[in-house]
Amino acid sequence: MGQTIVEKIFSEHCGKKVKAGEIVIAKIDLALAQDGTGPLTIKQIEKLGVERLANPRGAVFFIDHASPSPRKELSNDHMLIREFTRKTGAILSDIGDGVCHQVINERFNCPGYILIGADSHTVTGGALGAFATGMGSTDVAIGMAYGKNWFRVPETFYFNLKGGFPRGVYGKDLILYIIGMIGADGATYKAMEFGGEALPNIIMSERLTIANMSVEAGAKCGIFPTDEITRGFLKEYGREDKFREIKPDPDAEYEKIFEINLSDLKPMVAMPHTVDNVRPIDHPDLKNVEVHQIFLGSCTNGRIEDLRVAASIIKGKKKHPRVRMIVVPASRDVYRRALKEGLLEIFNDFGASINNPGCGPCCGVHQGILGDGEVALATSNRNFKGRMGNPEALVYLASPATAAASAVTGMITDPREFI
Amino acid sequence: MLKGKAWKFGDDISTDLIAPGRYYHLRSNLPELAKHVLEDARKEFAGSMNKGDFIVAGKNFGLGSSREHAAIIIKLAGVSAVLAKSFARIFYRNAINVGLPVIICDTDKINERDELEVDLSKGIIKNLTSGETLTFPPLPDIMTEILKEGGVVSYLQKYGDFKI
Ligand code: SF4
């Protein structure tokens, strides 16, 4: 029997042929932690009594969640991270460099890698054909200290994608559609593998969005095979030499197969308070929903392609007076490109507030906490009660196009009216 | 043997409900953070639970972020185990890693305030209030071993490596 992508990657990292269901010890190529989970990772490494990391250049610490720091307690956590990376030779990505999942894929992650991260959206790395998964601080500490950890090789759900995205529909809409279909625990413990003839129509920024949200269906990873699009992305970041072919065997064994025709999709919105509470944009539940805050950014949708789509919709317009719009480029590189392409000027003229690269208001730490009863439309990935800092607020999730259209009208709006 | 009262929670209790982002700055002060455990799901829980009590929830407990702090503060608050119909993947592993027992069982059979007695090694839950007995499947060997040592750090301190 052939192997899935995940079985192949684990086989390479265990030195023997493995299959789904096996518990294995695998070598870790790359491990990340951020400022919310990193301090505990560091304490656990110290507790394990390990002074030299197995591979310091494969251990990356990000200061992105509370960045710049809004409180002295967090500033002290940041100091701990800076000191630890200086001492051990681990890599530091500091304030203004960007969200961990964007930067790790621009600069470090490679096809065929095993990447673990003390952040659930580490799964984003699956877009490059890596096995990338989120773990707790302690498991990442073990990975950094020993260069390995134990895993159960997951069974795989295969998503056979056909067709192409219609106008106004993006990777975000596809993954919201899938989560709505299978539920927030629909893929718990499973790998989600994406493939099919639609792949050449799914650019890297969309793949990153899709892989990013695989965890919202409970998945252990969301993974794509590699192709010319992967090569092009690596080349863009001066890393073409890291390209290699990753694909499943034709007779790989899948636990479930789903067929989706992208051409049938509409813009989708996740309603409060769960990510699987999804409706198509023309559903009656989304009629007349007034919005107070639009958040364009995050590891899900803060890439240059996202900013371009949003800018093209709002160009020459003014935001609705009720709305405030917060734009957060996902990385320094995205920021630089947006600056160069004139996108930041468009956002500024529109009346948006442009923040430094980082997580911004996504997880409710700072930079845009909602008031009681307020409604946000965010391009991020979670809308749990309290997610954006206030359990009395409501968070809707949608694509950058839907977010931009809604910023113009002040209501949740079908972006196809603007494109 | 674990003994205590049941505190019932619904489905999809996220890590944002367990350890809210607005207390982000308390992550390096876990005893303080533990005072807010599950505050957005049941406000009275942290203040009124007794040491040894159980969290008894629906499906997909612990979904969301990887914050291990969520599992740690449940343990620090004195909860003896979390019982749920199912768990989100990262939370489940984190719980074992920090030495917090997590049990998959049919929690519809347990009511708020029921007095429970749990035998982890035998996989038996005795509901002393209803008189009913529930069983649950054992963990994979590696997880049983980690839990036995009180968490993965003590496990590795003892054995120096994983025994698989
Ligand atoms: S942008 Fe949001 S989801 Fe992504 S890493 Fe930051 S806090 Fe997490």
The Cα of A197 is separated from the nearest Cα of chain B by a number of Å equal to: 31
Pick from A274, A264, A276, A286: which is nearest to A405 by CA? Answer: A286
How far away is chain B from the Cα of A380, in angstroms, using its nearest Cα? 13
Under CATH, which number does the domain A5-262 receive?
3.30.499.10
Q: Answer whether A401 contacts ligand 1 (Cβ < 6 A).
A: no
Distance from residue A96's CA to the centre of ligand 1 (Å): 14
Tell me how close the Cα of B102 comes to any Cα of chain A, in angstroms.
16
Q: How far is CA A240 from the centre of its chain?
A: 22
pTM above 0.90, yes or no: yes
Residues of B in contact with A274 (CB under 8 A): 12
In tens digits, chain A (419 residues) has pLDDT values of 899 999 999 999 999 999 999 999 999 999 999 999 999 999 999 999 999 999 999 999 999 999 999 999 999 999 999 999 999 999 999 999 999 999 999 999 999 999 999 999 999 999 999 999 999 999 999 999 999 999 999 999 999 999 999 999 999 999 999 999 999 999 999 999 999 999 999 999 999 999 999 999 999 999 999 999 999 999 999 999 999 999 999 999 999 999 999 999 999 999 999 999 999 999 999 999 999 999 999 999 999 999 999 999 999 999 999 999 999 999 999 999 999 999 999 999 999 999 999 999 999 999 999 999 999 999 999 999 999 999 999 999 999 999 999 999 999 999 999 99
Specify burial of residue A22 (Cβ count, 10 A radius: 0-12, 13-18, 19+). Answer: middle
The answer for residues whose C-beta is within 8 angstroms of residue B163's C-beta and 6 or more apart is B142, B145
Identify the band that residue B125 occupies on the pLDDT scale cut at 50, 70 and 90.
very high
Report the separation in Å between the CA atom of A242 and the middle of ligand 1, taken as the mean of its atom positions: 26
Pick B164's closest partner by Cβ from A25, A40, A188. A25
Looking at CATH, the fold of the domain delimited by B2-159 is given as: Aconitase; domain 4 (3.20.19)
Q: What is the dihedral of CA B66, B137, B13, A366, to 10 degrees?
A: -10
Contact B93 A135 (CB under 8 A): yes
Q: Three-state DSSP class for A111?
A: coil
In tens, the pLDDT along A144-193 reads 999 999 999 999 999 999 999 999 999 999 999 999 999 999 999 999 99
Q: Does the Cβ of A123 fall within 6 Å of ligand 1?
A: no
Give just the sign of the alpha carbon dihedral A89, A95, A97, A99: positive
User: What's phi and psi for A243, nearest 5 deg?
Assistant: -70, 135
Using one digit for the tens of pLDDT, what is the confidence trace for A229-279? Answer: 999 999 999 999 999 999 999 999 999 999 999 999 999 999 999 999 999
Domain boundaries, chain A: 5-262, 268-414
Return the CATH architecture of domain A268-414.
2-Layer Sandwich (3.30)
Interface touch B86/A185, C-beta < 8 Å: yes
Domain boundaries, chain B: 2-159
For chain A, the 3-state helix, strand and coil shares in percent, each to the nearest 5, are: 40, 20, 40
Rg (CA), chain B: 15
Outline where A360-414 has alpha helix (H): 400-409
Q: What is d(CA A35, CA A100) in angstroms, rounded to the nearest whole number?
A: 10
Contact list, B27 vs chain A (CB under 8 Å): 36, 39-40, 77
Token digits of residue A360: 């911004």
